[in-house]
Amino acid sequence: MTPADVSAAVRPAVLELMDRLRAADHAAYVVGGSLRDLLLRREPHDWDLTTDARPARLQELFPDSLYENAFGTVTVRDADGQAVEITTFRSDHDYADYRRPRRIEFGDRVEDDLARRDFTVNALAWGGPAGQEPALVDPFGGREDVTRQVLRAVGDPAERFGEDALRMLRAVRLAATLGFAIEPATLEAIGRRAQLASHLSGERIAAEIDKLLAARRPSVGLRLMAQTGLLAVVAPELAAQIGVPQNKTPGEDLWDHTLRSVDAAAAAGRDGVVRLAALLHDVGKPATAADGHFYGHEAVGAEVAAALLRRWHLPRDTTDRVERLVRHHMFSYDPSWSDAAVRRFIAKVGMETLDDLFSLREADNVGSGMPRAAGDLAALRGRIAAELASNVVLDRAGLAIDGDDLIATLGLAPGPAIGRLLDRLVERVVAEPRLNERTTLLALARSLAEDG
């Protein structure tokens, strides 16, 4: 890319922000991942600018901007309404907890700002001071590393990972999302310092795993995690799969099967929840392995997966969905299932989980070297659709009576027993939909209550 090509590739609304900074006598540069992506002819998903203007000055120049952090980053809306982060040149000092600097210092030279960045391909800037033609600033050979598709730490890799252990996870994540190789000395340093990842917060780990899973082939990054020892530190539950034999693909272990399943979910374009469920679907196997079987691994796995996701502080809804998917992924359909069995399956899994469960099972099938739809998935889907089309009752809300009716008619006291009674009625109606009629249900409730 020539300088003119770069200029043409920067979004006009971002160029306009740079022009405003330069018109106010400041330097302005596109920097970091946005420039890297642009050089790779990928659309950057966020834009970062860096400047010598201090945060207070930025707020003067952009009165609607937000400045809510200690790191000199001011967020501005460009003419397209998109958020652009403008960060004052800075250097970082006194790393103490393997996570973040205790002290930052604003600077006047773009080179000093680039030196604090993690990888050479992220340590490039394009722009310039007021009155100069914009140009590429590349003190660490990042342009060449972009061309060669290599991730190389800026400076001494072991030292840089000691400052902030997240950089190791960023390396494997970027290797997966960009399809880059990690340069040998950088890779070796990750192996040496992997243990430091134990100091990272769950949120930061989860954010990287989420981005890693969004890659076209997440297995690339996951394998690097396993190989460097990062996996054993951030997810020992998964590292326990390495070397556990399984009978799916000859010569491969349980971890290989997991990776194939995750890649299959990605290849099918599934969302983050299904990819996470694919990663965790067999996490209960190492603990249940006995004589080549893994009895009850899905129930154990659901608990282990939920505990891991809670440790990573994932949103409650995501954790619940993944837990359900892991818990129910072992269903085995048979054409002899009665309609009632199909309805019980829907009620048990939960209507809102069905699509994801089929997606997970397809990924698991592919990961096991079987056809995507193995296990008669299409037939089961058809039967589920037929049941749903006839307005089946699957939960308390669908019953023709409610708790108040039970209290009023049967003279029962309010309390948890009412809920249990309603659940038993749901079970009966799932099995036999014609029972869902007021007088029938009340009579049934009376006899169930009497039987205790």
> Which one of residues 73, 122, 186, 359 is an interface residue with ligand ATP (CB under 6 A)?
122
Contacts of 39 (CB under 8 A, 6+ apart): 1, 6, 124, 143, 146
The residue among 153 and 357 lying less far from ligand ATP, judged by its C-beta, is: 153
Q: Which residues contact 45 (CB under 8 A, 6 or more apart)?
A: 37
Given the complex with Mg ion, which of 35 and 308 has the nearer CB atom?
A: 35
Q: How many residues lie near ligand ATP (CB under 6 A)? A: 11
Q: Is 24 exposed, middle or buried (0-12, 13-18, 19+ CB in 10 A)?
A: middle
Q: Cβ atoms within 10 A of the Cβ of 292, count?
A: 8
Query: Which option in Mg ion, ligand ATP, none does residue 275 bind, with CB closer than 5 to 8 A by kind?
Result: none
Contact call for residues 153 and 186 (beta carbons, < 8 A): yes
32 binds ligand ATP (CB under 6 A): yes
* Contact partner at residue 118 from ligand ATP, Mg ion, none, CB < 5 to 8 Å by partner kind: ligand ATP
Q: How far is the CB of 92 from ligand ATP (least distance, A)?
A: 8
What H or E segment, with its residue span, contains residue 77? strand 73-77
In terms of CB distance, is 33 or 221 closer to Mg ion?
33
- 241: partner contacted, choices Mg ion, ligand ATP, none (Cβ within 5-8 A by kind): none
Q: Which is nearer to ligand ATP, 156 or 423 (CB)?
A: 156
Q: Does 193 bind ligand ATP (CB under 6 A)?
A: no
Distance separating alpha carbons of residues 173 and 213, to the nearest angstrom: 8
Q: Which is nearer to ligand ATP, 178 or 401 (CB)?
A: 178
- Which lies closer to ligand ATP via its Cβ, residue 121 or residue 254? 121
Q: Strands 125-128 and 101-106, how do they pair?
A: unpaired
Residue 117 within binding range of ligand ATP, rule CB under 6 A:
yes
Q: How far is the CB of 33 from ligand ATP (least distance, A)?
A: 2
Please identify the residue of the shown chain whose CB is closest to the bound Mg ion.
33
Select the residue interacting with ligand ATP from 11, 193, 211, 361 (CB under 6 A).
Answer: 211
| Cβ distance to Mg ion smaller for residue 46 or 159 | 46
Question: Is position 80 an interface residue for ligand ATP (rule: CB under 6 A)?
Answer: no
What is the rounded distance in angstroms from the CA atom of residue 353 to the CA atom of residue 347? Answer: 10
Q: Which residues, numbered 162-181, are part of the site for ligand ATP (CB under 6 A)?
A: 164, 166-167
Q: Which residues contact 259 (CB under 8 A, 6 or more apart)?
A: 218, 219, 222, 223, 367
Query: Nearest distance from residue 13's CB to ligand ATP, in Å?
Result: 18
What does the DSSP assignment read for 42-76?
---SSEEEEESS-HHHHHHHSTT-B--SSSSEEEE
19 contacts Mg ion (rule: CB under 5 A): no
Q: CB 32 → Mg ion: shortest distance, Å?
A: 6
- CA distances to 76, 91, 189, 373 from 142, in Å: 27, 19, 19, 45
Extract the tokens encoding 280.
């965790």
CA–CA distance, 151 with 142 (Å, rounded to integer): 9
Pick what 301 binds: ligand ATP, Mg ion, none; C-beta below 5 to 8 Å, kind-dependent: none
Rounded to the nearest whole angstrom, what is the least distance from the CB of residue 32 to ligand ATP in the complex?
3
46 vs 432, beta carbon nearer Mg ion: 46
Residues 110-140, buried b or exposed e (16+ Cβ, 10 A)? beebbbbbbbbbbbbbbbbbeeeebebbbeb
48 belongs to the binding site for ligand ATP (CB under 6 A): yes
Q: Which two tokens stand for residue 297?
A: 């691994």
Least Å distance, CB 249 to ligand ATP, is 32
Q: Is the C-alpha dihedral spanning 404, 409, 415, 420 positive or negative? A: negative
Instruction: Name the residue with the smallest CB distance to ligand ATP.
Output: 33
Query: Should residue 113 be labelled a site residue for ligand ATP when binding is judged by CB under 6 A?
Result: no
What phi and psi values does residue 3 have, to the nearest 5 degrees?
-55, -35
Nearest to 405 by CA among 430, 374, 440, 379: 440
Q: Which of 16, 46, 203, 334 binds ligand ATP (CB under 6 A)?
A: 46
Q: How many residues does the chain have?
A: 452
- Write down the least CB distance from residue 150 to ligand ATP, Å: 15
* Residue 160 vs 281, nearer CB to ligand ATP: 160
* Segment lying near ligand ATP (by CB under 6 A), choices 117-125, 229-237, 258-266, 371-379: 117-125
Looking at the Cβ atoms of 95 and 331, the one nearer to ligand ATP is 95
Residue recorded with tokens 């920067």:
10
Nearer to ligand ATP, 71 or 295 (CB): 71
Residues 6+ apart with CB under 8 A from 282: 241, 254, 257, 258, 261, 294, 297, 301
Enumerate residues 29-58 that contact Mg ion by CB under 5 A.
33, 46
Measure the CA dihedral 156/162/164/169, to 10°.
80
* Residues at the site binding Mg ion, with contacts judged by CB under 5 A: 33, 46
* Residues at the site binding ligand ATP, with contacts judged by CB under 6 A: 32-33, 46, 48, 117-118, 122, 164, 166-167, 211
